[in-house]
Amino acid sequence: NAGVTQTPKFRVLKTGQSMTLLCAQDMNHEYMYWYRQDPGMGLRLIHYSVGEGTTAKGEVPDGYNVSRLKKQNFLLGLESAAPSQTSVYFCASRAPGLFNEQFFGPGTRLTVL
Amino acid sequence: QQQVKQSPQSLIVQKGGIPIINCAYENTAFDYFPWYQQFPGKGPALLIAIRPDVSEKKEGRFTISFNKSAKQFSLHIMDSQPGDSATYFCAASKTDGPDKLIFGTGTRLQVFP
């Protein structure tokens, strides 16, 4: 099993450009999450999904959109990138039920110039 | 809003020392407190977790101490090794739902031989 994978690993964008980050998991998990990690701020939840076709806002959703068309995939979109979105983005997945572990992907490092 | 406060920001110890990382939370509804370990260039991985019905949990050289009345919990690493050098994040969540983790800001631990 590959676990949680993320594509791409690195990306550089210019202000105003758009892009989509792809997260895939092969563990048949219902729940999926997108976080951003910034120095000194830990990980902050952007959006999450509790199942195929459902999404919800997290702590810092502004400037991002998500879609969960297939259970195994969770896409994070930036419609008009801003320098403030320069960050490392992590996807995670989890099985429903109490106290289950969130499994994280390897991250995508995004720089917006 | 910082619901989980973590300290110190960085920690340097000699091999064999016992680094201690502290976290405090505000929301009394939190009922799951995991610690994640992150190596450079990798995603976070669950290290150990505790529920508020116990005051201590040990897994190998790692121990969580939990003080419900003070709303504090800490990670102790016994007999620390250079391979423990990583960033450690505490987190908290309410498990009656999608388990949205609220992370602390992280502690960078360096263990010197």
For all residues of chain A together, what is the average pLDDT? 95
pLDDT tens for B50-104 read 998 999 999 999 999 999 999 999 999 999 999 999 999 999 998 877 778 999 9
pLDDT tens for A6-55 read 999 999 999 999 999 999 999 999 999 999 999 888 999 999 999 999 99
Residue of A nearest to B34 (CA): A101
Question: Looking at residues A54-75, what average pLDDT do you find?
Answer: 96
DSSP code for A80:
S
Measured in angstroms, the CA of A40 and the nearest CA of chain B are apart by: 6
| Residues of chain B contacting residue A90, judged by C-beta atoms under 8 Å apart | 43-44
| Residues of chain A contacting residue B99, judged by C-beta atoms under 8 Å apart | 31, 94, 100, 102
Cis amide prior to B44 (ω within 30 degrees)? no
Distance CA B96, CA A96 (A): 10
CATH architecture assignment, domain A4-112: Sandwich (2.60)
pLDDT of residue B106 exceeding 60: yes
Percent of chain A with pLDDT over 70: 100
Residue of A nearest to B7 (CA): A40
**Domain chopping of chain A, boundaries:** 4-112
Q: Give the nearest partner residue to A42 out of B41, B89, B98, using CB atoms.
A: B89
pLDDT of the residue at B96: 76
Confidence of residue B2 (pLDDT cuts 50, 70, 90): low
pLDDT of residue B1 exceeding 60: no
Distance CA A100, CA B9 (A): 27
Q: Is A78 left (phi over 0), alpha (psi -120 to 50) or beta?
A: beta
Percent of chain B with pLDDT over 90: 88
Confidence of residue A85 (pLDDT cuts 50, 70, 90): very high
| Residues of chain A contacting residue B104, judged by C-beta atoms under 8 Å apart | 42
Distance CA A94, CA A102 (A): 5
Please give the CATH topology (third level) of the domain spanning B4-62+83-112: Immunoglobulin-like (2.60.40)
Question: Looking at residues A52-78, what average pLDDT do you find?
Answer: 96
| Residues of chain B contacting residue A31, judged by C-beta atoms under 8 Å apart | 98-99
Cross-chain residue pair A58–B100, CB shorter than 8 Å: yes
Confidence of residue B111 (pLDDT cuts 50, 70, 90): very high
pLDDT of the residue at B99: 77
Measured in angstroms, the CA of B19 and the nearest CA of chain A are apart by: 20
**Domain chopping of chain B, boundaries:** 4-62+83-112
pLDDT of the residue at A95: 87
Cis amide prior to A8 (ω within 30 degrees)? yes
pLDDT of the residue at B7: 97
Q: Give the nearest partner residue to A99 out of B32, B103, B104, using CB atoms.
A: B32
